[in-house]
Structure 1
């Protein structure tokens, strides 16, 4: 299993445009709409670049998407560490499912189909 390291949150906190000491501001619909539109455009640009194997555009559009994502988190008052904790939890669930599917002595006979988790959420 992986160990949670809070370093990712601190690393990204340095580039977050918000000041930790100021009062939280409620989300502004116009700002949210503009950030969401920018994110959508960058995602489409990144997907098209990936299909055409344009490495430089994938890099620049991915970087732009991450910047817009940070702006969305700020707009919504979301702490980056909460996101990293959620991602870590999903990784842990995925690793646990993988270990369970490969547990020795679990199956006596030949496996007929892959082991599946009964959920629609991906880890």
Structure 2
């Protein structure tokens, strides 16, 4: 089973082995509103923890998707370019943005688990 962690910027990373699938939480997609455009990184791009890794634009705003951990982009969800609304419909499933080969698994320890993230969202809502 995947190990899912969250950032305070509302990204999630679902970890299986040395690869993490990155997207935005359901809370984030609700705050953004209708997603109309997604800009994905190039395969092979190396990102540091906290770097902008992708961009999501909605009818309300454009936002960077920050890398929760350092790593190398090994896959992108090209289907989002034709159907960006998938981010709204299924943010934790088909609406993922990219996959990273994780450079330092210890960085995952700095992220919130599901319970901590839900408490964080409740504290800002």
| Fold equivalence (TM over 0.5) | no
Bigger relative contact order (CA 8 A; separation at least 6)? 1
Which structure has more helix as a fraction of its residues? Answer: 1
Which structure has more strand as a fraction of its residues? Answer: 2
TM-score normalised over the length of structure 2: 0.29
TM-score normalised over the length of structure 1: 0.29
